[in-house]
Amino acid sequence: MTDVKNVEQENNNTFSLVRQENGIAHLIMDVKGDTMNTLKAEFGEEVSEMLKEIRQDQTIKGIVLISGKADSFVAGADVHMLANCTSAAEATTLSRQGQIIFDQLENLSIPVVAAVHGACLGGGLELAMACHAIVCSDSPKTALGLPEVQLGLLPGGGGTQRLPKRVGIQKALDMMLTGKQLRAKQALKSGLVSDVVPHSVLIQTAEKLALSGKVKPKARKLSVMDKLLEGNGLGRSILFSKATKMVLNQTKGNYPAPLKIIDCIRASAEQAPSKGYQLEADHFGQLVMSDVSAQLRQLFFATTDMKKEQGVEGVSPEKITKAAVLGGGLMGGGIAFVTATKAKLPVRIKDISHQGISYALKYGYDLLNKKVKRRFMRHSEMQSQLALITGTTEYTGFGDVDIVVEAVFEDLTLKQNMVADIESHCKEETIFASNTSSLPIGQIAEKALRPENVIGLHYFSPVDKMPLAEIIAHEKTSDQTISTTVAFAKKQGKTPIVVKDKAGFYVNRILAPYMNEAAILLLEGCSIEALDKAMVKFGFPVGPMQLLDEVGIDVGSKIGPILQAELGDRFAPPAAFSKLIEDGRLGKKSKKGFYQYNTNSKKKLVDESVYTLLGLQVSNTNVTEAQVERCVYMMLNEAARCLDEGIVRNARDGDIGAIFGIGFPPFLGGPFQYMDKIGAVTIVSKLNQWQAEFGERFTPCDTLVKMAEQGERFYN
């Protein structure tokens, strides 16, 4: 029987203690007014008082830590409180306070078991690991991880010290350096949790474990390799050296958090516990005050805010219950996949051939089957998701479709015919969303009977991985269509930005000048490998030449003239590049481009014959900082133009679009945050210098000139 009086006394607090007849007390965390639990600094005193009460009550035989939220445990620490820190010392103190509270929990003389259901991340997992044992539900909603590295931070509540002791050094490195989350069975296999049970018996199982007194984590079974690497100083030295080398190779030194995480995990294995915890707190404080973390946290807040917004303020989206895709190619298959697996909606694929439909179905099957093989999902779950995807060579099954995404060839007449077909085979309210990357949506809707239902929905390849979607409204697109399409993209797991209907939209428009400038540098004598290395070192995920190979050299050649015709000669691709198309060099898809593809080498090798084809002699194998800036500043200048023309609604959307769409370095915060950091005066000065030296394409846009004169910024 529950102690009702106790609940009433505590119900205004975040933590409440509910005693059970069997001697177990439930310590319940429930942050009032929030949909999810997050840890806040002000909870420290309340928890200390609660633990004091537990220590003084001799009738309590054990504690089960429970969330008061229906579908989550603790999502992490409240990131907003870090913004209030004005010094590294303040942030370090915040970390130490959390460590002390968790130590008090761990040092209770009675068994403490965390009953985890739903998200148990960051500070939430640190809280759970401070308990003597963890039991979690087998629900797909349950996920455990320490994702702080994604915010440029490390776990500051003892996570770097406790996790290695539960799962081992190698697994701890993998989890903390990537922010990887474990599902219930993975957590059990790794030794992170003691048991996995159905949600219906979770608390009962946790109570039994607490009453049994057997709450110490099971001893890890070390393989021979584990003993060699983790069980002695030399092995650990090799392990940490390898991890450091891998981190530097991936981050190019642009992100400080991973190296500090390695430092803390090393301390957990080789130093006294007190020193390990102090090192963690010190590193945490330094990272909180770093510009990298500030930018990554700002990006986190921006994307969180966007999730709450509608496409058009005040206009609620219509409910979508069924979707369709026109075209069963790589794009169509990807769009159908995210619609079925993320949005959980039935989706009908229409293609002119059964082969196209089969290709799209296989695309989804292959992706899901990988998850089954890795035991990330059950085979039955894969089957139920695949069952949502069906195909047809006619328009059967289209009568009740709410939205149709068109992913056919970039041909205006073909797309206009698709609009007419949908208007004759679907409901009057059915939205026609075109996945065009270059054709104006207004032209696609030109012959439509209901142009208000026509909109652009531009995905990026591969659809299952790339997080951005551009929502392009033409002049006659209704507000209702915009809001509904934005909501649909969100259900597919995308971060949508609404952009204006103009050539290139936003992402391709700012990417094109950057790519063109890189091509010009190649023609000036820079090597392909040096160009790509320099841009990756700057922070892009891949270099421009490799990106051109990935996207398709022919795709770039088609988009270039469209942009040049509508926006001017600064978009003119180098004429010499036409030789690449004539030679059949389309990139990765034709296994012939800037790089070699018919090779067994694990390292990407440049196809040296490109230089001969273009009549070049490589004279510069080291790309200078100024040459890197020429490419980047072309992108920055165009981004500022896009904001001025209303292509993007605000600087925030422009930053998110560039980071999620083309991999602009996240640690720089996006092109607008980066321009604010550099300053308009510096940007305009360099653009003017290059304009005089290299030509009119470097002419600074009016917005930047005005900002330089008036000392303005994009963000206040």
Q: Are 435 and 356 in contact (CB under 8 A)?
A: no
What secondary structure letter does DSSP report for 218? P
Label residue 552 left, alpha or beta by phi (over 0 means left) and psi (-120 to 50 means alpha): left
3-state secondary structure at position 606: strand
**β-sheet bridge partners, residue 312:** 315
CA 199 to CA 136: how far, in whole Å?
8
CA nearest neighbour of 436 among 455, 453, 462: 455
CA 697 to CA 683: how far, in whole Å?
14
What secondary structure letter does DSSP report for 572? P
- Angle, to 10 degrees, between the axis of helix 354-373 and the axis of helix 330-341? 50
Q: Which whole-number Å values give the CA distances from 671 to 230, 370, 488, 678, 687, in the listed order?
A: 43, 36, 27, 10, 16
Residues 621-644, buried b or exposed e (16+ Cβ, 10 A)? Answer: eebeeebbbbbbbbbbbbbbbbbe
As given in the structure block, the two tokens for residue 713 are 């910024």
Cβ neighbors of 300 (< 8 A, separation 6 or more) are 79, 150, 151
Of 148, 423, 470, 517, the catalytic one is 470
Active site (annotated) includes residue 8: no
- H/E element holding 707? helix 702-710
User: Helix H segments across 412-570?
Assistant: 412-425, 441-444, 479-491, 507-523, 528-538, 544-551, 553-567
- The number of residues making up the chain comes to 716
CA nearest neighbour of 502 among 580, 427, 436: 436
Classify residue 440 by burial, with Cβ atoms within 10 Å: 0-12, 13-18, 19+.
buried
- Angle, to 10 degrees, between the axis of helix 671-678 and the axis of helix 651-662? 110
CA 183 to CA 587: how far, in whole Å?
38
How many of the other CB atoms lie within 10 Å of CB of 35?
A: 10
Catalogue the active-site residues.
470
